[in-house]
């Protein structure tokens, strides 16, 4: 049935105040206001000041004179560079104004292109900023991956030396992991969550915007590592190599800490929003499954990431103030880094995986026209995964720094976590069961994600087992495993989400043929790239080494050629995007997929304030295929029905007016 998406306009209701006209606000010239250009200038100036200051402070130190490497100057330069960048974008304006008691200035809508280069309080703009930022990370990391695979074309003829090769590997890994930590929560979490829970705004919109700009600053910091000689540790930054490395290691430590702060801010804002800003009627049992996924992820972002920031601080202190946290000879321990890093690092895996599952489970009911199977099990599974992820980190150090007697315990906890993860998989399969599937591009990416994640997940169960772990540790088998879970899981889910929500985000329809070309090339070459790496791993090829046994060349060459094709497959997306959005645009209808999701009940493009009236939610959004399904929500007192009962079948008297709350208000009273 057709979906009513119109909202009433200009209707007066008793008790309503007349609309407050938007007041003209005095402004400086557009070019003088903070924007990305000033941020870059601020970053450069900050770096120069910091570097100069570091030289003043530390150039006389014996170790600096002996080595010619001034880590104090590098760290101060990068830190003040980030501070300058944030000052230039205007992130510090309100925090400083608060010190003299100022209230935040009223948010004024902007609809020119310049808003994408500014700090903004519009969550939809921040979501699009994140989308571009994440794709930029992905592109950079992808180029580095091509360089790595090029080196591995031949076992003995080299394009790069071993030093450059390991720098490329480290840079690729770090950029990709940082990108992946925000790949879904940043673009789709920020864009969608307020619309899905029926609110007009984020709880902390300035914190949200700050999280994006500091994320971007962290990207710049990580890239500077290439100019300081890279870092030899890979993305895990293990000591004692960390302590001995050149200036690129400073970029790694500062960059990880900076992005960590951004991750904490993003999680902080989203958690407060989901808990407090749900519309009347949006009880916990009606919250969309994607929002559950984001909520579980925010718990990990806010609680696990501080450990990473502190570990980064310790690393910086070791390299600048000459403490000895990770120096065994002076009472420290290199295993301390491994523990702190993986206490963050393993929850990080679920920071990446959970939102991906959220997307898949949100999209599948739309294309199967069936209710989400076992909704409550899915929500519980996500919380279970989030909780258990704090108790498994030591499986990363089975081979080092762990009492052997502790291995069975952490083997058990790791195998335990496969149970709630299995729940999530079964929920997805249950939704597919006996469904008449519409094989549109978002659904294809969802199915691709399930296929890939199954391989990644099953090999993960093998790896949790101590004997297997000891056998294949540090090999390409591990590398293939986590590429199947992260790239095969998260990136496939990200593209499923982008293809699904781009019509709502941009108001334009993507070209279907190009979309499907993208999927099939991406899926095929992804598997051809990474599946051979399981085999070379089992046959003994170690990670992070630029030479390998000659008998492994065929498998490596298949992988490398496929990797080039995999990289090329992204051009289908880029060309499609430019073609469909800018060159030959086709306006998207308000609800092209016939979805019951609250976000689809808004007009396209979504107004600045999302909802003209705060909606009253009447049911969860998964009653597909049910003839007597209740409407999803009352939007401004016009009942909206999608795939269920006709709107007129439910009397207006059945719902409370907006804001009345009453029994529908899910939140307890405060104070």
Partner 1 sequence: MADDTVRDEEFEGFVQLRETPEEIAFEVRAQEGALWTGGRLLIGIWAFAFAALAFAYFYLRSANNENLWRPKGITAPTSAGAAIFAVTVACALLAIFGERRFRSGEALDWEVAGWTAVLGALVVVGLQIWQLTELPFFPGSSGYASCFIGWAVMNIALVLSGAYWLETLLAREIRLRRAVAQDGGAPRSTLPAARLFRVNLNGCTYFWGFIALVGVFFWVLFYVL
Nearest distance in Å: CB 216, partner 1: 22
Closer of 194 and 489 to partner 1 (Cβ): 194
Angstrom distances, CA of residue 328 to CA of 240, 308, 331, 332: 9, 20, 5, 5
Cα pseudo-dihedral 3, 636, 361, 388, rounded to 10: -170
Structure tokens at 448: 């691709």
Minimal distance in Å, beta carbon 77 to partner 1?
19
CB of 653 to partner 1, least distance (A): 17
Q: Which residues contact 57 (CB under 8 A, 6 or more apart)?
A: 72, 73, 76
Looking at beta carbons only, is 203 or 478 nearer to partner 1? 203
Distance (Å, rounded) from C-alpha 278 to C-alpha 617?
9
User: Cβ closer to partner 1: 80 or 450?
Assistant: 80
CA 481/CA 306 separation, integer angstroms: 27
Minimum CB distance to partner 1, residue 252 (Å) = 18
Backbone angles phi, psi at 634, to 5 degrees: -100, 110
Considering Cα of 628, then 630, then 632, then 638, what sign does the dihedral take?
positive
Q: In whole angstroms, give the CA distance from residue 512 to residue 518.
A: 10
Min CB(303)–partner 1 separation in Å: 5
**87/541 with CB nearer partner 1:** 87
Please, which residue, 331 or 651, has the CB nearer to partner 1?
331
In the complex, minimum distance from the CB of residue 484 to partner 1, in angstroms, rounded to a whole number: 30
Cα separation, 440 vs 516, in Å, equals 8
- Secondary element (H or E) of residue 300: helix 289-320
Least separation in angstroms between residue 9's CB and partner 1 is 7
Which one, 361 or 616, has the nearer CB to partner 1? 616
Instruction: State the minimum distance, in angstroms, from the CB of residue 391 to partner 1.
Output: 14
Q: How far is the CB of 203 from partner 1 (least distance, A)?
A: 4
| β-bridge mates for residue 634, sequence order | 616, 639
Q: Which is nearer to partner 1, 49 or 303 (CB)?
A: 303
Cβ neighbours, 10 Å, residue 127: 23
* Least distance to partner 1, CB of residue 400, Å: 14
Distance CA 379, CA 365 (A): 15
Q: Which is nearer to partner 1, 2 or 671 (CB)?
A: 671
| Residue 23: CB minimum distance to partner 1, A | 9
What are residue 587's phi and psi, to 5 degrees? -65, 135
Identify the three-state secondary structure at position 323. Answer: coil
- Least distance between partner 1 and beta carbon 124 (Å): 13
- Residue 21 or 60 with smaller CB distance to partner 1: 21
CA 79 to centroid of chain Cα atoms? 24
| C-alpha–C-alpha distance, residues 396 and 650, integer Å | 55
CB within 8 Å of 345: residues ≥ 6 apart: 236, 308, 393, 396
Specify the 3-state DSSP secondary structure of 468. Answer: helix
Q: For residues 299 and 555, which CB has a smaller minimum distance to partner 1 in the complex? A: 299
CA 75/CA 60 separation, integer angstroms: 17
Rounded CA-CA distance 580/132 in Å is: 17
Query: Which lies closer to partner 1 via its Cβ, residue 596 or residue 613?
Result: 613
Instruction: Identify which of residues 88 and 507 has a Cβ nearer to partner 1 in the complex.
Output: 507
Whether the ω angle into residue 240 lies within 30 degrees of 0, i.e. cis, is yes
Q: Rounded to an integer, what distance in angstroms lies between the CA atom of residue 38 and that of residue 146?
A: 33
* Pairwise CA distance, residues 458 & 480, whole Å: 12
């Amino acid at each position: 049935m057709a979906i009513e998406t119109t909202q009433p306009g200009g209707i007066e209701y008793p008790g309503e105040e007349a609309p407050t006209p938007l007041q003209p606000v005095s402004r400086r010239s557009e070019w003088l206001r903070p924007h990305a250009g000033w941020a870059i200038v601020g970053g450069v100036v900050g770096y120069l000041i910091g570097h100069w200051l570091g030289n003043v402070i530390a150039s006389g130190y014996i170790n600096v004179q002996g080595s010619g490497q001034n880590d104090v100057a590098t760290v101060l330069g990068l830190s003040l560079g980030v501070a300058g960048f944030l000052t230039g974008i205007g992130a510090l304006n309100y925090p400083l104004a608060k010190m003299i008691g100022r209230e935040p200035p009223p948010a004024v809508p902007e609809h020119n292109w310049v808003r994408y280069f500014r700090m903004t309080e519009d969550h939809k703009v921040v979501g699009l900023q994140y989308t571009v930022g994440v794709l930029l990370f992905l592109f950079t990391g992808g180029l580095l991956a091509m360089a790595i695979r090029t080196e591995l074309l031949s076992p003995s003829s080299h394009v790069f030396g071993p030093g450059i090769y390991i720098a490329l590997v480290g840079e690729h890994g770090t950029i990709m992991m940082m990108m992946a930590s925000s790949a879904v929560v940043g673009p789709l979490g920020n864009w969608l969550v307020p619309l899905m829970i029926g609110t007009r705004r984020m709880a902390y919109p300035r914190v949200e915007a700050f999280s994006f700009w500091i994320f971007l600053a962290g990207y710049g910091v990580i890239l500077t590592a290439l100019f300081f000689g890279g870092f030899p540790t890979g993305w895990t930054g293990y000591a004692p190599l960390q302590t001995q490395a050149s200036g690129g290691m400073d970029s790694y430590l500062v960059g990880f800490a900076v992005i960590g702060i951004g991750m904490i801010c993003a999680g902080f804002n989203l958690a407060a929003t989901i808990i407090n800003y749900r519309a009347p009627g949006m009880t916990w049992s009606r919250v969309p499954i994607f929002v559950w996924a984001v909520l579980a992820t925010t718990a990990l972002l806010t609680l696990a990431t501080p450990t990473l920031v502190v570990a980064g601080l310790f690393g910086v202190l070791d390299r600048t103030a000459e403490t000895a946290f990770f120096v065994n000879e002076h009472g420290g321990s290199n295993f301390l880094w491994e523990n702190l890093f993986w206490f963050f690092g393993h929850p990080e895996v679920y920071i990446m995986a959970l939102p991906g599952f959220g997307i898949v489970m949100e999209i599948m009911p739309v294309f199967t026209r069936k209710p989400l199977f076992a909704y409550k099990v899915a929500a519980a599974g996500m919380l279970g995964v989030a909780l258990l992820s704090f108790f498994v980190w030591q499986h990363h150090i089975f081979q080092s720094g762990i009492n052997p007697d502790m291995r069975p315990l952490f083997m058990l906890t790791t195998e335990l976590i496969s149970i709630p993860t299995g729940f999530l998989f079964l929920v997805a399969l249950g939704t597919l069961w006996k469904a008449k599937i519409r094989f549109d591009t978002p659904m294809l990416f969802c199915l691709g994600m399930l296929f890939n994640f199954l391989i990644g997940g099953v090999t993960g169960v093998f790896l949790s087992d101590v004997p297997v772990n000891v056998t294949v540790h540090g090999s390409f088998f591990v590398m293939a495993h986590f590429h199947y879970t992260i790239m095969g899981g998260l990136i496939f889910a990200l593209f499923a989400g982008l293809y699904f929500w781009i019509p709502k985000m941009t108001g334009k329809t993507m070209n279907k043929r190009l979309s499907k070309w993208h999927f099939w090339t991406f899926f095929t070459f992804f598997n051809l790239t990474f599946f051979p790496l399981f085999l070379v791993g089992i046959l003994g090829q170690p990670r992070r080494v630029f030479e390998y046994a000659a008998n492994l060349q065929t498998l490596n060459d298949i992988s490398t050629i496929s990797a080039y094709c995999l990289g090329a497959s992204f051009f289908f997306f880029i060309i499609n995007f430019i073609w469909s959005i800018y060159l030959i645009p086709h306006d998207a209808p308000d609800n092209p997929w016939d979805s019951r999701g609250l976000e689809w009940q808004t007009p396209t493009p979504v107004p600045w304030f999302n909802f003209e009236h705060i909606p009253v939610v009447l049911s969860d959004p998964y009653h597909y295929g049910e003839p007597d399904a209740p409407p999803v929500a009352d939007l401004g007192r016009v009942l909206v029905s999608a795939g269920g009962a006709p709107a007129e079948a439910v009397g207006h008297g059945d719902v409370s007016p907006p804001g009345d709350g009453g029994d529908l208000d899910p939140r307890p009273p405060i104070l």
